[in-house]
Amino acid sequence: MIKRVVDFFGDERHAKRRRRLFYLVLVLIIIADFLVFREHAEYLWERLPGWSALYGFGSCVLLIFVSKFLGHQCGLMRREDYYD
Amino acid sequence: MTDFVHPGLLFILGALPIPILKGSVRKAYVLLIPTLAILAVLTMHPGSYGAARFIGQEIIVAKVDKLSILFATVFSIMALIGMVYALHLTRAGQHVAAFVYVGSALGVVFAGDYLTLFLFWEGMTFASAYLVFAQRSDQALRAGFRYLMIHITGSIALLGGIILHGFATGSLLFGPIEGGLGLATCLILAGFLLNAAVPPLNAWLTDAYPEATVTGAVFMSAFTTKTAVYVLARAFPGTDLLVWLGIVMALYGVIYAVLENDCRRLLAYHIVSQVGYMVAGIGIGTEMAVNGAVSHAFAHILYKALLFMGAGAVIHVTGRRKLTELGGLYKTMPVTLALYMVGALAISAFPFFSGFVTKSMVVAAAGQDHRALVVLALTMASSGTFLHTGLKLPYYMFFGTDQGLEAREPPRNMLVAMGMAAVLCIAIGVFPQTLYGLLPHPVDFDPYTGVHITESLGVLMFTALGFVIFLRALDPENTISIDTDWFYRMGARRFMWLAEKPLARYEKAVSDVSETAALPFLHGMARAGLRIDLRGVDAFVNAIARAILRGGGALRRLQSGVVTHYALAMIAGVIAAIAVFAVAWR
């Protein structure tokens, strides 16, 4: 069982189905976010359906590029023998 | 005392027979003690035990309340899981160190006064350092010494703070610290923050943990930072500074994790990030926030250990630790991958996994306390957490480019330990009420609302979308990252340079001066002294001696031995005396 699930995520032949499933999940999440009942919304963005998806994507991109910028341009990343 | 057995002492005293036990007896024994400890924790009642007086101060070896029971529960469970994971080890050293380490952590958790706390605090430092040294490589030895030196520095700050605090308040009992941030409070806080790995005092963790042994790192990931969270929750709830430090930590960890190539160092940066949630929760200080912080510590110990066990299993089997050298292991290690993913989903706070019911409590508490910035920053850190532990690390370790590594599943005891942790990660997520019942304050929080589920999934799955789109940008690079350990690593190097170059040169110059100028001068002085001694002093002394010798010879001649001479001399003497008497008396 475990092996089959793992293979589904690893094997190249499942790539197409995997991608379809992934996009389907994304769409379902957005739809669900429009449908859920928001009884208590403290902040403006909490009333905005799809906000969390946008924020998650934005955070991810921001983290990747800010980190890589710090690593490459600000010299945080060094050769492995830096301390030797 | 029959109603209370100190689980910490159970571990510390229980460590003594380990070296003399052999084979399966030892295996059974190292599992028996943690099991007894779990029973001891489950059956204990709140109260104070082991009160005594020492150097005029009140000492409470064990103060039991809900908060300490919560930490003791997860510590003893974790000890059992860790021992199962380490069961295949043949050397006793690591078992002993792990026992002392766990026992000391439990000692801190129950300590009712600062002296007891400090004693166990030090015990943790030294026992855990052994788990780094036991790796035996040159790199590990260096990292271990850096780890020790940093922790000893922190302990000295803590001890200084404790002494000042004791003088100021007249009591060494451990509890909430009132009043502003005086010197004593600052020193104690600094000691605690160092162990919690709060930047800029974080580098010891990411420096040493990846260098520890495969099994040792599992223990280390669980205890040091979480005891620090415990003492912070006990002493500094509601300290606003901690909220900001917590946010910085949460983001600091995920930013560095992007750059990291060593699999366990990446996970170590996520300890920093996750402890950030706890520190922030303690800083907010409301009942819900503290509940969130300590429940997150509970869940974190289990899923973080699971992640370290997964990465450790890969290192154990392949001998490689860099993401650039790993890949394609899903075919040979599917069970390890599946168990690792349970931990990854738990740390990322997917619904029905432990992080979902604990991390969200901290974020919700921040929202309730009207701290929008905290909510946004912590949510961003969640995205980063999933990005690295849930996507980047498993992708490059188990999928990615197939490096054609010869691999197999790790020894069965490792898989069993991972399975135990995985079951707990899911159990907490599915039945959060059991954990909520253990929390120090009553819980009024339901994580499973529709909006919370869709929002969490939205953040996480669209992070995954970002990962898929920018996958190439995330390719691990064969580098190391400069962290705050740069200051003391380079500082030590500068110091050595100072000692070897200018100081050594100065020393040589001084010795040159003494050889070319001072030494001949001293030689001359010595020769002159010798001359004076021989010609002056000695001649004088010799002359006196000769005079005495001559006087003695003359006197000897007076002693003739003839009675009439003596009689004559007596008569002459009497006459002289009478003459003197007659003249002088008149």
Chain A residues touching residue B455 (CB < 8 angstroms): 33, 51-52
For residue A46, being part of any structural domain is answered with yes
Shared domain for B316 and B434, answered yes or no, is yes
Any idea what DSSP says for residue B262? B
Q: State the Cα–Cα distance between residues B86 and B209, nearest whole angstrom.
A: 16
For residue A58, being part of any structural domain is answered with yes
For residue B501, being part of any structural domain is answered with no
Interface of B with A in 280-339 (CB under 8 A): 330-331, 334-335, 337-338
For residue A77, being part of any structural domain is answered with no
Any idea what DSSP says for residue B176? P
Considering only CB atoms, B258 lies closest to which of A2, A7, A63, namely A63
Shared domain for B37 and B52, answered yes or no, is yes
Shared domain for B256 and B187, answered yes or no, is no
Number of structural domains in chain A: 1
Chain B residues touching residue A2 (CB < 8 angstroms): 334-335, 338
Shared domain for B446 and B316, answered yes or no, is yes
For residue B376, being part of any structural domain is answered with yes
Strand partners, B552: none
Instruction: Give the angle subtended at the CA of B194 by the CAs of B281 and B146, to the nearest 5°.
Output: 145
- Chains A, B: CB contacts within 8 A come to 154
For residue A56, being part of any structural domain is answered with yes
Q: Which of B387, B448, B461 has the highest number of chain A CBs within 10 A, making it the mutation to test binding with A?
A: B461
For residue A37, being part of any structural domain is answered with yes
Give the number of other Cβ atoms within 10 Å of residue B436's Cβ. Answer: 20
Q: Which helix (H) or strand (E) holds B570?
A: helix B563-585
For residue B577, being part of any structural domain is answered with yes
For residue A84, being part of any structural domain is answered with no
Q: Say if the Cβ atoms of A50 and B330 lie within 8 Å.
A: no
Q: Say if the Cβ atoms of A29 and B457 lie within 8 Å.
A: yes
Shared domain for B156 and B271, answered yes or no, is no
In chain A (84 residues long), the average pLDDT of successive 10-residue segments reads 90 92 96 86 81 95 94 91 88
A17 Cα to chain B: minimum distance (Å): 15
Shared domain for B88 and B228, answered yes or no, is yes
Q: Last residue of a domain, which of B236, B268, B292?
A: B236
B258 touching A, CB under 8 A?
Answer: yes
Shared domain for B245 and B260, answered yes or no, is yes
Q: Which of B459, B470, B490 has the highest number of chain A CBs within 10 A, making it the mutation to test binding with A?
A: B459
Compute CA B223 distance to the chain's CA centroid, rounded to the nearest angstrom. 10
Instruction: Give the angle subtended at the CA of B546 by the CAs of B540 and B548, to the nearest 5°.
Output: 105
Q: Which of A63, A65, A66, A69 has the highest number of chain B CBs within 10 A, making it the mutation to test binding with B?
A: A63
Q: CA of A30: which chain B residue's CA is closest? A: B458
Q: Say if the Cβ atoms of A56 and B458 lie within 8 Å.
A: yes
Under a CB-based contact definition with an 8 Å cutoff, are residues B249 and B276 in contact? yes
Q: Last residue of a domain, which of B236, B264, B279?
A: B236
B212 Cα to chain A: minimum distance (Å): 18
Considering only CB atoms, B466 lies closest to which of A43, A57, A71, namely A57
For residue B425, being part of any structural domain is answered with yes
Any idea what DSSP says for residue B516? I
B235 Cα to chain A: minimum distance (Å): 31
Number of structural domains in chain B: 3
| Two tokens, residue A34 | 């429009």
Give the number of other Cβ atoms within 10 Å of residue B519's Cβ. Answer: 12
Q: CA of A25: which chain B residue's CA is closest? A: B461
For residue A78, being part of any structural domain is answered with no
Q: Say if the Cβ atoms of A29 and B479 lie within 8 Å.
A: no
B464 touching A, CB under 8 A?
Answer: yes
A51 Cα to chain B: minimum distance (Å): 8
Shared domain for B396 and B271, answered yes or no, is yes
Q: SS3 for B57? A: strand
Considering only CB atoms, A25 lies closest to which of B399, B461, B467, namely B461
* Domain span holding position B429: 241-481
Shared domain for B220 and B291, answered yes or no, is no
For residue B491, being part of any structural domain is answered with no
Q: Say if the Cβ atoms of B259 and A52 lie within 8 Å.
A: no
Please state the pTM of the whole predicted model: 0.88
Q: State the Cα–Cα distance between residues B367 and A48, nearest whole angstrom.
A: 16
- In one-letter notation, the amino acid at residue B426 is I
* Domain span holding position A20: 2-72
Environment class of residue B109 by beta-carbon count within 10 Å: exposed (0-12), middle (13-18) or buried (19+)? Answer: buried
B484 touching A, CB under 8 A?
Answer: no
Q: What sections of B260-401 are H helices per DSSP?
A: 263-284, 287-318, 334-347, 354-368, 372-385, 393-398
For residue B231, being part of any structural domain is answered with yes
B477 touching A, CB under 8 A?
Answer: yes
Q: Say if the Cβ atoms of A77 and B479 lie within 8 Å.
A: yes
Shared domain for B307 and B214, answered yes or no, is no
For residue B116, being part of any structural domain is answered with yes
For residue A83, being part of any structural domain is answered with no
Any idea what DSSP says for residue B177? P
Give the DSSP per-residue string, B425-473. Answer: HHHHHH-HHHHHHHSSS-----S--HHHHHHHHHHHHHHHHHHHHTGGG
Shared domain for B232 and B245, answered yes or no, is no
Q: Last residue of a domain, which of B214, B236, B258?
A: B236
B462 touching A, CB under 8 A?
Answer: yes
For residue B514, being part of any structural domain is answered with no
B443 Cα to chain A: minimum distance (Å): 19
Chain B residues touching residue A47 (CB < 8 angstroms): none
Q: State the Cα–Cα distance between residues B122 and B188, nearest whole angstrom.
A: 14
Under a CB-based contact definition with an 8 Å cutoff, are residues B463 and B387 in contact? yes
Shared domain for B211 and B293, answered yes or no, is no
Q: Which of B370, B383, B469 has the highest number of chain A CBs within 10 A, making it the mutation to test binding with A?
A: B383
Residue whose pair of structure tokens reads 């000897």 in the numeric block: B556
B398 touching A, CB under 8 A?
Answer: yes
B408 touching A, CB under 8 A?
Answer: no
From first to last of the 586 residues of chain B, give the pLDDT tens digit. Answer: 457 899 999 999 999 999 999 999 999 999 999 999 999 999 999 999 988 888 888 889 999 999 999 999 999 999 999 999 999 999 999 999 999 999 999 999 999 999 999 999 999 999 999 999 999 999 999 999 999 999 999 999 999 999 999 999 888 999 898 777 889 999 999 999 999 999 999 999 999 999 999 999 999 999 999 999 999 999 999 999 999 999 999 999 999 999 999 999 999 999 999 999 999 999 999 999 999 999 999 999 999 999 999 999 999 999 999 999 999 999 999 999 999 999 999 999 999 999 999 999 999 999 999 999 999 999 999 999 999 999 999 999 999 989 888 899 999 999 999 999 999 999 999 999 999 999 999 999 999 999 999 999 999 999 999 999 999 999 999 999 999 999 999 988 899 899 888 888 998 999 898 888 888 899 999 999 999 888 888 888 888 989 999 988 888 877 777 888 888 888 999 999 888 888 877 6
